[in-house]
Structure formats: C-alpha cells, structure tokens
DNA sequence: TCGTTTCCTGACCGTATGGTCAAAGTGAAG
DNA sequence: CTTCACTTTGACCATACGGTCAGGAAACGA
C-alpha cells in the first residue's frame, strides 16, 4: 500500500445528493483498497481515510464490510456485461470479437481495481458472488457460445471450441489489469503510454482473430 | 473456505527428516490457505490446523507469517522457471511455444494454489517479490523475447510483438488455475476431466500457434 | 546412561479490527 | 421558528490475530 492521495469528494449539496455522493466516494475508495489489499487485508479505517470520512460514517451507509465489498464486485460485473453488447449485433467474429476485445482492454485500463477485486473474489472461491456465476454469467456464456458456433457454422472462422475462446478473451484482456504491476515492472517501471496501450490492444486483437482463423 | 481435510503429514523418522517433513507439511498447508484466503485473510492458526501442528510450532520453523508466505511465492516461481527450459532448445515456435504452453497448463492443473498466490501477490503490487520481478523475471523475459524475435526473423512466425505474446501465454495458461473456480462453475460445477484438460491444452495451443502464424 | 541439542506446545500478551452507540449537528418542510 | 428525519462522529467494546516464552519431551552422540 503506497501513500495514495485521498479520493476526491465533491460538495454535498442537497439532501439526496449527500447520500449519493458519499456512497460514491466510499465505493471508489473501497474498490481501490480491496484491490490493493484483498478483502482480508483491507480495513474499514483505511477505506474511511481514503474517502475522507470517519470510520463510523462508513457503517452508516454500509452496514458491514461484506456489504461494501459485495457492491464493489457487482459494479465491475455490470460494467463487463455492458461491454458485451457489441458482441451480439455484429455480422461476424472480426467485428464482434474484435470490438469485444477493444472494449474489455479499455475497461482493463480504466477500471483496473474492479478487475482485481473480481479476480480476487473468484480466486477465493467466489464466496460472495457464486450465485452470479451460476445464473447471469452462465446464461451470458451460453448465449455467446451460440453466437460463436453460428459463426463457425457459417464458415466465418475455424471450428475451435467456443468455450475456450471465451476463456482466452477473458484471460488476455483482464491480464492487463490484474497483472498490470508486473507489466509495468517489465516496462522499465513505467505505466504503459497511450501508444503502448494501442499496441497492446492491436496485438491481442490480431493474435486472437488470427488464432481463430477470422483474418 | 470450505471444510477441507487436513494435509497429510508423514511419520517424522530421523532428526533431519523431522525438520524437512514438517516444513513440507507447513508449506503445503500454507500454499492452500494463502491461495484460498489471501495473505491478509489467512491465519497462522488455520495453517497450523491444516498442517496438523500447534500454532506455536509454525513459529518454530518459520519466524513470521511473512517468511512463510515468501517461501510459498518463491516455490511457484521456481517451478515456472523450470518449465521454460523447453523454450530455449527448440528449433522453432511450434515446438518451443507449444511445449511451453503444455508445461504451463500442466502446472496450472497440478499447482493451482501456487499460481493463485503468485497472482494475488502481483495484484497487490508485489510487496514481497518485487526484486524477483526486476531481476530474474526481467532477464528471463528479455531472453525469451530474443528467441521469439529470432524465430520471426527466420520467417517461422508472423512479426508479432514478442512481449505481448508472452503476456498472452502467461494469461491464457494461468487463467485455468487462477479462475479455476469460475471455469468449474461454468462446467456444471464439476472439475474438468482428463479429457477436458487435454481439450483445453489443445485449444490454447492451437489458437496461440495459429495466432502467431506458426501453423 | 548421561548430557546436549533439537523439537514441541499450552498459556499468555499487546495490538488492531469490525462493529456499536448515544449524543450532537444539519438541512428542509410547515 | 419549530419540528423531524437524516447525517455525523468520538468513544467504546469484544474479539481475533501474530507473535512470545518457559518448560517439558524426544532424539542423538559419546
């Protein structure tokens, strides 16, 4: 944990805004702390400090540490689901999978903390979001597998196993968030520049699309 | 954390064996607990219970929780380094990268806990093994990049960015360990069978090798 | 057998953490 | 201004955790 600056907290304004603004600041701080320390290593005190609130105030908005954690995990899950819309209404794998990769790479750059929290949650056996895996994610996966299978049947790509293609998409894109520290270290300790991010996206896109015989 | 059985601990035997056997049992239990709970969530008591030893005995062999953790992380790192020998003395990418993928997929199956501990460590900013990243891993990476670049120059594969290929190799293979729980859930809650593992390995291998234009 | 080193372990300690609570502060409606 | 619901907060509590220690048990060499 480095000496990070305090998360910005805007002026409260109206009564309704107070709640929304404080919840937002808490969630933003929590996402960062959970990502950097894990659920067990994170402390409510640290989250409170980063959000610029007394610890007792956190428990006013979120009853328990687990409640707060659950909300953070749900957030990234919904962001990822949204990113998949491009998948469906695409004529073929080049557009569908290509844009999905781009979207997920963008999220890895803009929401690295959320990605890490998700990864941590799944690695620990998904104690909090197991039901999501068994319902929403399972349905989503089966839907996408059907789309990919259709593209295969239409001869638009090689007859690969759609399931393992999905795993490859998740693995390669999220790697840039979850292992961002390792990547940065191997990049002479400096974060990837805009140009390097474009190259990363293009590399992943090209290798995957060529890998499935779509280009 | 599910109600896991106790780690097997063989009979002590001679004086020298006692130390080796107990350290082995502790490390095995620690790997599992750190993987399932994270560093912050893991407790020495739980590791002790799983190793079948009193907590005070853990501190006899490992001074602190961090010492124990460091040893666990080093273990998986060395296992991965060993798996890379196949990379060097290969005539081309099909053999070199192909066998590297197979080796890393095998490790994901046999050492899922270690892989998770590594992932967790890197996600948290590598507080314990940062020096490894900056020395051993960086050197290793540069060496492999040189090999890949040679293959490209020899026309044995497409001119992709070697660095991003390495990231793809790490991401795709380790995904089967780190996100094993998610994969199992999407596999009707059942662990992958031998046949499914073979298919996973073949899928990753084929997609990657085709993706770099090696097949 | 005896002395010495290594190993074992229950009891204990200081600290940090998640969570509680009562009392005070504050904005808006009437 | 008064009222009332919403918000804020310092002080506090029970618990759990990492780590310590002293004394006993077991293995080993002579």
In sequence order, which residues have a C-beta less than 8 Å from that of residue B185 and are 6 or more positions away? A126, A130, A133, A134, A137, A138
Region for residue B13 given its phi and psi (left: phi exceeds 0; alpha: psi -120 to 50; beta: otherwise):
left
| Whether A137 and B186 lie within 8 Å, measured CB to CB | yes
Q: Tell me which of A80, A122, A123 to substitute to probe the interface with B (most B C-beta atoms closer than 10 Å).
A: A123
Q: Å between B14 CA and C28 C1'?
A: 79
Pick out the nucleotide with least CA–C1' distance to A61: D7
| Whether B161 and A39 lie within 8 Å, measured CB to CB | no
> pLDDT value at position A7?
55
Contact B81, B140 (CB under 8 A): yes
| Whether A165 and B207 lie within 8 Å, measured CB to CB | yes
Distance from CA of A23 to the nearest CA of B (A): 24
The answer to whether B13 CB is within 7 Å of strand C is no
Contacts within 8 Å (CB) and 24+ apart, A154-160: A154/A92, A156/A92, A156/A93, A156/A214, A157/A92, A157/A93, A157/A212, A157/A213, A157/A214, A158/A212, A158/A213, A158/A214, A158/B210, A160/A211, A160/A212, A160/A213, A160/B203, A160/B206, A160/B207
Nearest chain A alpha carbon to B211? A211
| Whether A181 and B138 lie within 8 Å, measured CB to CB | no
| Whether B40 and A36 lie within 8 Å, measured CB to CB | no
**B125/A contact by beta carbon, under 8 A:** yes
Q: Nearest-CA neighbor of B194 among B115, B109, B103? A: B109
The answer to whether A64 CB is within 7 Å of strand C is yes
Q: Å between A177 CA and C22 C1'?
A: 44
Taking the CB of residue A160, how many other CB atoms lie within 10 A of it?
19
> pLDDT value at position A10?
46
**A185/B contact by beta carbon, under 8 A:** yes
Q: Nearest-CA neighbor of A213 among B94, B156, B206? A: B206
Task: Give chain A's count of helices (H) and strands (E).
Answer: 12, 0
**A161/B contact by beta carbon, under 8 A:** yes
| Whether A171 and B171 lie within 8 Å, measured CB to CB | yes
Residue nearest to nucleotide C27 (CA to C1'): A15
Side-chain half-sphere CA neighbours of B141 within 13 A: 22
pLDDT, mean of each 10-residue run, chain B (215 residues): 47 72 97 97 98 97 97 96 88 97 98 98 96 96 97 98 98 98 98 98 98 97
Nearest chain B alpha carbon to A186? B138
| Whether B160 and A2 lie within 8 Å, measured CB to CB | no
- pTM summary value: 0.94
| Whether B40 and A35 lie within 8 Å, measured CB to CB | no
Contact A104, A83 (CB under 8 A): yes
The answer to whether B22 CB is within 7 Å of strand C is yes
Contact B119, A37 (CB under 8 A): no
Q: Which of A37, A165, A172 lies at the smallest CB-CB distance from B171?
A: A172
Distance from CA of B13 to the nearest CA of A (A): 36
Q: Tell me which of B167, B177, B210 to substitute to probe the interface with A (most A C-beta atoms closer than 10 Å).
A: B167
Cα angle value A102/A203/B153 (rounded, 5°): 170
Q: H/E/C letters for each residue in B18-80?
A: HHHHHHHHHHHHHHHHHHHHHHHHCCHHHHHHHHCCCHHHHHHHCCCHHHHHHHHHHHHHHHH
- Which residues in B lie closer than 8 A to residue A209 (C-beta atoms)? 211
Q: Distance (Å, rounded) from C-alpha B186 to C-alpha A145?
A: 12
Pick out the nucleotide with least CA–C1' distance to A55: D9
Q: Distance (Å, rounded) from C-alpha A117 to C-alpha A41?
A: 12
Q: Which residues, given as ranges, of chain A have pLDDT below 70?
A: 1-15
- Rg, Å, chain B Cα set: 19
> pLDDT value at position A8?
55
Q: Distance (Å, rounded) from C-alpha B170 to C-alpha A62?
A: 37
Please provide residue B9's backbone torsions phi and psi, each rounded to the nearest 5 degrees: -130, 115
């Amino acid at each position: 944990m480095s000496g990070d600056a305090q998360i910005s907290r805007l002026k409260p304004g109206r009564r309704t805004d107070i709640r929304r603004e404080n919840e937002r600041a808490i969630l933003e701080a929590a996402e960062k702390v959970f990502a950097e320390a894990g659920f067990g290593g994170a402390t409510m005190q640290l989250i409170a400090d980063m959000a610029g609130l007394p610890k007792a105030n956190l428990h006013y908005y979120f009853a328990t540490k687990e409640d707060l954690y659950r909300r953070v995990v749900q957030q990234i899950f919904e962001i990822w689901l949204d990113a998949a819309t491009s998948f469906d209404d695409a004529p073929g794998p080049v557009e569908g999978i290509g844009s999905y990769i781009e979207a997920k790479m963008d999220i890895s750059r803009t929401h690295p903390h959320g990605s890490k929290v998700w990864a941590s949650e799944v690695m620990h056996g998904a104690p909090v979001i197991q039901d999501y895996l068994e319902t929403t994610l399972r349905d989503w996966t089966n839907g996408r597998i059907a789309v990919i299978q259709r593209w295969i049947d239409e001869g638009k790509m090689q007859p690969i196993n759609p399931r393992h293609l999905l795993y490859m998409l998740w693995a390669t894109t999220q790697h840039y968030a979850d292992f961002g520290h390792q990547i940065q270290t191997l990049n002479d300790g400096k974060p990837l520049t805009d140009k390097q991010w474009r190259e990363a996206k293009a590399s992943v896109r090209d290798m995957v699309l060529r890998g499935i015989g779509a280009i």
